[in-house]
Chain A
């Protein structure tokens, strides 16, 4: 293959990796080295920042909290989206197109607009500072997304599959769980990926709806930069660690990322 073909993606990936490298490299530096001046590589290689995170409960609980509400949100979003996506892909019903658009509008809702009303809403029903509160709040944008992706995949499955199953004597639940879901397993994988992703990266709502018990790692980080001075190394280590769950998830769905978008319908 021609060199020019390789050049563009390589340069782009190099550009993407630079800030990440800087973050990771900084996480292995001591605070003194960071503030002392510019250095391309950690001179006094230290894992002190990571040790602190793994031994301090406020830090590692931040991770557990984040993973907890993200997982809860993913389960709720995909579970609710599955039957809805099936309905959109198979049936026409009163107001289906408007409903679909209305769902999508919620994907557009600015978190900033909803932050305060959410705080009041979830406080009033006693869910403030719980995993469920954040998980439910994130369904606002994840459910429409999951419906959208799953609908695309389901539309790709010929209707004959449903009909054959009924002829073979399957009841609807038995068809749906034993035949249909395995058929669109790839689509479910992609939906899980995107739900996980958008719940994991969101901070504004997660921070607003929690105080102590369910505080996400991202919020713990903001506290660090404001209260305990300028602990850049620690911040960098915490930040580096937040990349890992995402990277693991991408690795699992790498073959479906591109496909998931292509099949989605607007």
Chain B
């Protein structure tokens, strides 16, 4: 659409800018402030420069958390995106079952995150949970509170349960927007199912899939409540993701300086990755 140049449009965006600036800029400045100061809990602050940043970047603990975080994010992306696309492809396109499918699939998205954690906590308990009991009864020695592998398995399964539907909904939205003529033309052109997927469905889903990957990337990087309720970051530190570690430092140990420095590094990682995504996407759209 051709847009008119109109500087007065700024008045329209002003409420949003004020609201978001109040919520984003002031806290961000606080964080920046803390990240360069030192305090001993008595409201006196000393300039510490980039010391906290150096400390964080040199600590094994940070790199370990980041490593776990990256492992988690990429694992769930690799599972949820193809799985979501596959489910969207097999969903009915018309008829009464569409609503039923959509409503049931969207359900996990609307459950408060701590309830998701609690639900899986109960569901996976080895003695009285359905999943735990089942796995143990078919011969697995499964206990997610004690064994690292089991904790990861449960954590990833929970995230797949919780968020795959988002990918499904997005991919489905992309699929239903393809006009029937495309499928008809492909059949007349003698295209196989694989070629229909490769040359029609996938290109048409590209935009929504990029949104899906972007959202899943950001949200999985921000994940906090569900793993805390499920495993509490344990056993040991085995499932301590970045945000869990951050809250442990900030609220648990009240180490404001390092926590703030870590927050900024953390935010920058997300921002940078998202920016790359955003630029790539914009370039795609212009083509």
Chain A residues proximal to chain B, CB less than 8 Å: 1, 4-9, 12-13, 15-23, 26, 34-35, 37-38, 40, 76, 79-81, 83-84, 86-94, 96, 99, 101, 103-118, 120-121, 136-137, 139-140, 143-144, 147, 155, 158-159, 197, 200-204, 217-218, 221-222, 225, 232, 235-236, 239, 242-243, 245-247, 249-251, 254-255, 257-262, 264, 266
Contact = CB atoms under 8 A, between A and B. Distances in A.
Interface in B4-48: 4-10, 12-13, 15-17, 19-20, 22-24, 26-28, 30-31
Contact of A16 (B102, B128, B165): B165
A110 B65 CA distance: 15
Interface string B110-151: 111111001110110001111101000000000000000000
A9 B91 contact: yes
A21 B38 CA distance: 50
A88 to B, nearest CB: 7
Interface stretch (B56-64, B181-189, B208-216): B208-216
B87 A254 contact: no
Given A242-B112, A261-B169, A93 B104 contact: no
Contacts of B115: 23, 218, 221, 239, 242-243
Contacts of A103: 16, 20
Interface of B: 1-10, 12-13, 15-17, 19-20, 22-24, 26-28, 30-31, 86-87, 90-92, 99, 101-115, 118-120, 122-123, 127-131, 133, 161, 164-165, 168-170, 172-174, 176-177, 208, 210-211, 214, 218, 221-222, 224-225, 229, 243-244, 246-247, 250-251, 256, 259, 263-264, 266-267, 270-271, 274-275, 278, 281-282
B123 A19 contact: yes
The winner among A101, A103, A117 for most chain B CB atoms within 10 A is A117
Contacts of A136: 19, 22-23
A92 B19 contact: no
A110 B266 contact: yes
A108 B222 contact: yes
A165 B107 CA distance: 40
Contact of B90 (A9, A19, A107, A257): A9
24 contacts: A12-B87, A12-B105, A15-B161, A20-B108, A89-B1, A90-B3, A92-B6, A93-B7, A93-B8, A104-B274, A110-B243, A110-B270, A136-B23, A197-B110, A201-B110, A203-B112, A221-B115, A246-B107, A258-B169, A258-B176, A260-B173, A261-B170, A262-B177, A266-B210
